[in-house]
Amino acid sequence: MLFVACPMTHPANFRFELLATDDGSSARRSRLTTPRGVIELPTFMPVGTLGTVKGLTIDQVASTGAEILLGNTYHLALRPGEDTVAKLGGLHRMMGWDKPILTDSGGFQVFSLAQMTRVTEEGAVFKSHIDGSRLELTPERSIAIQEALGSDIAMVFDHVVALPNEYSLIREACERSIRWARRCQQAASLPEQIQFAIVQGGLDEQMRIWCAEELAKLEFPGYAIGGLSVGEPPEEMYRILDATCPALPADRPRYLMGVGRPIDLLEGIRRGVDMFDCVMPTRNGRNALAFTDEGPLRLRNAVHRTDRQPLQEGCPCLACKHSRGYIRHLFAAGEMLGPILLSHHNLTYYQTLMRESRQAIEMGRFDEYYRGKLDRWG
């Protein structure tokens, strides 16, 4: 285990410290201090797209061990609107969450949800997926919305394209994303908010490295890896992480966007990723799937009908106070408590993975921890 004195001070009392690295992998134990609290890294950010983590109260979310949440610029700008959020005291006060919040820029949602999107150098013009109304999102507009929301970390507006795709289109989107990142930097006016840049480049290793190096020249306080987990095989994602992470500044946090499965979290950590987000734990929870150390449990299956075991021995979540049989009954009866309990369990399980990963890195034994989890998951 190597302890590294590597503090980096950012505007408005943001501070990143690289505390330790693992002996057998590229895993990092670090800490991001913000005006609203400390985030121990590696971390998983529950997704609160519309100002709520689906199905859970904010106190229940906090009880899972979460230290930072994610909100979304695109969705909140459409409903209820950033002006409404601002009049309600900002996203933190509206939600009742006093810890840090990261807001995604909306770039991915413009790509995945909006109808009839047209991208130019200025920005993206699209039709709302809600009512078809015409809207425009530019780098400057994205930052203005995020400042109105009052998030602690704002993501730059990037150009996301489908994969696989033509090399020329991926290159064009990658270069545009760098230019847009610079415009986001220039548009910033909120001292208590920092920005993370987003590395694009599809599945091309050299383009990813080039993009990371170009963005590093702009001295952002943090860097994300975007445009992955969009249907490519996991091995391809890992290959891109192998190439991209070493090209990112070691003294800044690294965020893998929209990932994912428990195995993907550990694979990302062992390659040097610090931050993750995904809807998977809550979405699967609402659909009767629980993550455990023995692999996923599908609670609708009849095998659980009279099972008295908890989902996971020793788990402190709300669901594990009950039996698998009881939780199966809740789903079979259409009771709303079932999705609530499994959402709370899955988020708790993800936070437990993060906490155990941090401890393993501190002891220089993350690779051993990783292999032990893989053996149990099968």
Which of the residues are catalytic? 104, 277
Backbone phi and psi for residue 103, each to the nearest 5 degrees, phi listed first: -110, 130
Q: What residue type is assigned to position 273 of the chain?
A: V
Distance of CA 317 to the CA centre of its chain: 21
What's the rounded Cα separation, in Å, for the pair 72 and 330?
A: 31
C-alpha closest to that of 202 among 236, 179, 170, 158: 170
What's the rounded Cα separation, in Å, for the pair 60 and 57?
A: 5
Q: Are 256 and 228 in contact (CB under 8 A)?
A: yes
C-alpha closest to that of 254 among 216, 282, 281: 216
What's the rounded Cα separation, in Å, for the pair 236 and 229?
A: 9
Q: Are 244 and 273 in contact (CB under 8 A)?
A: no
